Amino acid sequence: MKQLLVFVKKEFIQVFRDRSTLLLLFGLPIAQIVLFGFALSNEIKDSKVVVVDYSKDEVSSRIIAKIGASKYFDVERSLANADQLEAAFKKGIIKSAIVFPASFADDLLHTNKASIQIIADASDPNLATAVTAYLTQIINDYQIQSGRAVGLPLQIIPEIHMLYNPELKGAPNFVPGVMALVLMLVCTMMTSVAIVKEKELGTMEVLLVSPFKPLYIIIAKLTPNLIISIVNFFIILLLSSIFLDLHVQGSLLLLTLDSILFILTSLSIGLWLSIGAQTQQAAMTSSLMGMMLPTLLLTGFMFPIENMPLPMQWLSNLVPSRWYFIIVKQVMLKGLGINYVWKETLILLGMCILLFTISLRKFKIRLQ
Amino acid sequence: MISLSNISKTYNKGQITALKHISFSVDHGELFGLIGPDGAGKTTLFRILTTLLFADEGDATVNGFDVVHDYKQIRNCVGYMPGKFSLYQDLTVEENLNFFATIFGTTIRENYALVKDIYQQIEPFKNRMAGKLSGGMKQKLGLCCALIHKPDVLFLDEPTTGVDVVSRREFWEMLARLKKQGITIVVSTPYMDEANRCDRIALMQKGVVLSIDDPANMIKDFPQKLYAIKASNSFQLLQDVRNYSGVDSCFAFGDALHVTFRDSSDQNMMAYLYTKAYTDVSMEIITPSIEDCFIHLLKD
Amino acid sequence: MKWMNPVIITEKLTKRFGDFVAANELTFEVNQGEIFGFLGANGAGKTTAMRMLCGLLAPSSGKATIAGFDIYDQAKQIKTKIGYMSQKFSLYDDLTVSENIRFYAGIYGMDIKQIKQKTGVLLEELELQSEAKTLVSALPLGWKQKLAFSVSIVHDPSIVFLDEPTGGVDPVTRRQFWDLIHYASNRGVTVFVTTHYMDEAEYCNRVSIMVDGVIAALDSPAQLKQQYTATNMEDVFYELARHAKRKDD
């Protein structure tokens, strides 16, 4: 046992002496979150909104005036019909539009109820959400004010259309994605490189020839990366709470446990990759090509899995991060409990046990 | 202490032969040298004996234990310094030694007496990273690490390669002292001149043992008379001697040429050289070195 | 005449790393066609000195010219005039023998006709015609080293730097390698060589021995042996390097 502790201590010393790796380990999540926080800022100012007013009545003009008066929007009236609108969206000149149907004033007058269409370019999902939220807010304000004046409750129902990215994949989805990516990277790459490094140095030969148990070598190699990854996990949570205003909605304990499970799975993959590789470079390449790409492509945070061809969808089932991504979304964003993620958790657990067993069996107590 | 019988090993599914039917044994307390160039199979042999590789055929035992079945016992009683062993570059000298002591289930203090001689030479640098040590120092630290658990057998794979003459001599003196303490040592080297430091040597080339004997016997068994011919323009001399029809072999050897003749009674070399207008040429019978023996064996 | 024409001239060439003087005021000349043995203990500063001479490392002070070019601001010209081979750097294992030759001839800017002619000459000299299409990885180490040497002088440099070229090579091949060195030297190529085999020091025209960053001795092997009343170069080296203070790089 003492031997194991000394080995783990040695691993930690080595990690902390390697400044550039350390910087990568902790700098990566920070950089990702901060960059994302700034790149997709929610702030909207003088955003151009196009109005297509088929109704042209008193109420619609008042709502338009109110929108124009807010600091968030500049109203452009130039477009007369829906075709022009579509063209403008496609060219990317405008980001949002409001359409008052021809029957707007009539409906409002006779039924006290009318709809307005709000259309937003959701290829920038953050902006689209914010713009529609502000527009809805302004319309609601108007309803409350005018309702009071008339004495009757007016109901204007905004119908929101998100163009190009109806599911609004964006900030909230990005954080679970970053978590999956960073944990995968750190665990897989660092583990395989750390083990292969011993082979390159020739120290692995000495370790194997010593009475030190091969299982201990594995445990000692995994421990520092496990701890570093857990720390990284909390850093990401903290950063997304500070910079992105994204807090854990569900159980932190559940999220942490599932994350540890995912970390262990990734560590097992790292171990597995290290068995075949003879040089650090090979280990690095196989982690990057074999793990990073599938994680990026098949996890679902960059490209929706539902839209992929069937074989890709099947393939994505084999990617652990896909299941972890779902768990984080459910627990962190939607605040759901174990009832909603037990299936994904079981799948991860199965993968973890399988991968670790394979790696353990394949880990060579000899050189061939 | 160590015995090998009929050990063979190939790589790449038989395409590359590393060892061909190797059999020999090493006695308790012996300093045994495996001498040969790169590709001779020295490292493969070490790996088989240290239980890191399986031989394709043949048996081997170390300290009475079978290298295949009793690998755990062997791993408890041997010290091994691999050829490309370079320690943990980012750990200090002391941290490295401490680490290896613990891995082998011992402490520096417990066996300090054994490594004291060697460790004292590197102690002034004990807080320096191993990566910043020179070749000679690294080699001493490596030896300390391999010795720290007081092994019965020490395997050293090319410990002196790439190390300067001074460090090499010091290293061999250290090995001689360890031998006095009863440790069996198997050491490999590509430097033929180090052969004389061993009790017995095996000359190896391309997976085959060319000869096994103690160095003195090997030299005694050199079958021909060996002559050293010297002149100031040794390159020209080499050309001329090689053109002499009676010459069997002729190699540059330091400042002289080492020459054997097809007919040992050939007495005309000097006369031939005088016709080539050498004024400072000399020729004498010399005792062969191990390198001469090796070259001779390669010829066959 | 080959002895009259110095191709390496250094004067108080010095390299400091912080407080540490790796190479201290090296002053020497190497003549055209000379085989110059550059020996030294581990950590004596050999590698540093060699890197400066190859134009890979800027000196801290002192002067040096290589093949008539200044090492401070004519590194580019120097590189066309020198060849380099080390035990570690050798050939591309996954290219064939002739592909390797063509590649190196190509990077030195030879035209297709020259390359073709040179490849033929080299293969003939090395008796490797039958192996021209063999992958280098399949060649025995000794042949690789000989090929690597020939490739390092494929562009007819004035000087070739050889860094432990014979490490790990068997005794017969080692001697064949030195035959190649002698042929090159006879053609006027200056050979600047480091080695750990002390018998090889005897094959050099002159030998310098570095200890603790300075050149402790520089002369012909015969003179050095006489001066230190030694029977061979190993004893000369031992005598000089034994008291070296610096044993770390």
In this predicted model, what pLDDT tens digit does every residue of A66-98 receive, in sequence order?
Answer: 887 777 777 776 666 777 777 777 776 777 788
B269-280 residues labelled b (16+ CB within 10 A) or e (exposed) = beebbeeeebee
- Four-way CATH pick for B226-299: 3.30.70, 1.10.357, 1.10.10, 3.40.1130: 3.30.70
Q: Dihedral of the CA atoms A138, A140, A142, A146 (nearest 10)? A: 180
pLDDT at A250: 87
Please tell me the distance from the alpha carbon of residue A233 to that of residue A263, in angstroms, as a whole number.
10
Please tell me the distance from the alpha carbon of residue A24 to that of residue A19, in angstroms, as a whole number.
9
Instruction: Tell whether A67 is covered by a domain.
Output: yes
B71 contacts in chain A (CB < 8 Å): 365
Residue type, A359: S
pLDDT at A147: 63
Same domain assignment for residues A287 and A216: yes
Selection from A36, A39, A41 nearest residue A130 by Cα: A41
Return the residue matching tokens 């432990």: C164
Report the mean per-residue pLDDT for chain B.
90
Residues 6 or more apart whose CB falls under 8 angstroms from that of C178 comprise B252, C166, C200, C203
pLDDT at C2: 45
Helix (H) or strand (E) holding A118: strand A113-121
B145 contacts in chain A (CB < 8 Å): 206
Which span out of A156-160, A191-195, B150-154 was modeled with the highest average pLDDT? B150-154
CB-nearest partner of A18 from B75, B87, B90:
B90
Q: Do A10 and B88 touch (CB under 8 A)?
A: yes
Instruction: Tell whether A281 is covered by a domain.
Output: yes
Residue type, B133: L
Please tell me the distance from the alpha carbon of residue A185 to that of residue B121, in angstroms, as a whole number.
43
Residue type, B278: Y
Q: Which of B169-178, C81-90, C126-135 has the lowest mean pLDDT?
A: C81-90
A208 pLDDT tier (thresholds 50, 70, 90): confident
Among A163, A184, A217, residue at a domain's last position: A163
Same domain assignment for residues A199 and A106: no
Same domain assignment for residues A342 and A223: yes
pLDDT at A345: 94
Cα dist from C232 to B153, B168, B213, B294, C236, whole Å: 35, 16, 26, 20, 7
C248 pLDDT tier (thresholds 50, 70, 90): very low
Same domain assignment for residues A237 and A309: yes
**Tens digit of pLDDT for each residue in B32-64?**
999 999 889 999 999 999 999 999 999 999 999
Among A129, A163, A197, residue at a domain's last position: A163
Q: Is B90 in the C-facing interface, judged by CB distances under 8 Å?
A: no
Q: pLDDT at residue C249 above 50?
A: no
Q: Do C170 and B137 touch (CB under 8 A)?
A: no
Q: Do B87 and A209 touch (CB under 8 A)?
A: no
pLDDT at A153: 55
Q: How far is CA C175 from the centre of its chain?
A: 16
Helix (H) or strand (E) holding B200: strand B200-205
- The ipTM assigned to this model is 0.83
pLDDT at A332: 86
**Domain spans, chain B:** 2-214, 226-299
Mean pLDDT of the region C27-52: 90
Same domain assignment for residues A227 and A311: yes
pLDDT at A281: 85
Please tell me the distance from the alpha carbon of residue C140 to that of residue B39, in angstroms, as a whole number.
8
Q: Do A367 and B146 touch (CB under 8 A)?
A: no
Selection from A164, A162, A165, A108 nearest residue A139 by Cα: A108
**Tens digit of pLDDT for each residue in B257-295?**
999 998 877 778 888 888 888 888 889 999 999 999 999
pLDDT at B22: 93
Same domain assignment for residues A288 and A189: yes
Nearest residue on chain C to B192, judged by CA atoms? Answer: C171
Same domain assignment for residues A151 and A174: no
CA distance B80 to chain A (A): 6
- Length of chain B equals 300
Q: Dihedral of the CA atoms C13, C19, C22, C24 (nearest 10)? A: 40
CATH value at residue A51? 3.40.1710.10
pLDDT at A44: 59
Q: Do C247 and B134 touch (CB under 8 A)?
A: yes
Q: How far is CA C120 from the centre of its chain?
A: 25
Same domain assignment for residues A138 and A174: no
Q: Is B221 in the C-facing interface, judged by CB distances under 8 Å?
A: no
**Tens digit of pLDDT for each residue in C223-235?**
999 999 998 899 9
Nearest residue on chain B to C138, judged by CA atoms? Answer: B16
B193 contacts in chain C (CB < 8 Å): 198-199, 234
CATH architecture of B2-214: 3-Layer(aba) Sandwich (3.40)
**Tens digit of pLDDT for each residue in A31-56?**
877 776 665 555 556 677 788 877 77
C1 pLDDT tier (thresholds 50, 70, 90): very low
Q: Which domain holds residue A113?
A: 47-163
B162 contacts in chain C (CB < 8 Å): 164, 167, 196
Q: Do B102 and A3 touch (CB under 8 A)?
A: yes
Residue C28 in contact with residue C191, Cβ under 8 Å? no
Q: Say which CATH class C6-241 falls into.
A: alpha beta
Instruction: Tell whether A137 is covered by a domain.
Output: yes
Percent of chain A scoring above 90 in pLDDT = 13
Mean pLDDT of the region C194-201: 89
CA distance B96 to chain C (A): 17
Determine C/A contact with 3+ CB pairs under 8 A as the test.
Answer: no
Domain count, chain A: 2
Instruction: Tell whether A368 is covered by a domain.
Output: no
Please tell me the distance from the alpha carbon of residue B61 to that of residue B51, in angstroms, as a whole number.
10
Q: Do B251 and C249 touch (CB under 8 A)?
A: no
CB-nearest partner of A10 from B78, B89, B91:
B91
3-state secondary structure of C180: helix
Q: pLDDT at residue B238 above 70?
A: yes
Residue scoring higher pLDDT (C67 or B267): C67
Q: Do C237 and B165 touch (CB under 8 A)?
A: yes
A168 pLDDT tier (thresholds 50, 70, 90): very low
Report the mean per-residue pLDDT for chain A.
80
Among A112, A145, A163, residue at a domain's last position: A163
pLDDT at A155: 65
Q: Which chains touch A (3 or more CB pairs under 8 A)?
A: B
Number of other CB atoms surrounding residue C126 within 10 Å: 18
A261 pLDDT tier (thresholds 50, 70, 90): very high
Residue B237 in contact with residue B251, Cβ under 8 Å? no
Residue type, B202: A
Selection from A3, A1, A14, A2 nearest residue A195 by Cα: A14
Instruction: Tell whether A331 is covered by a domain.
Output: yes
Residue type, C116: K
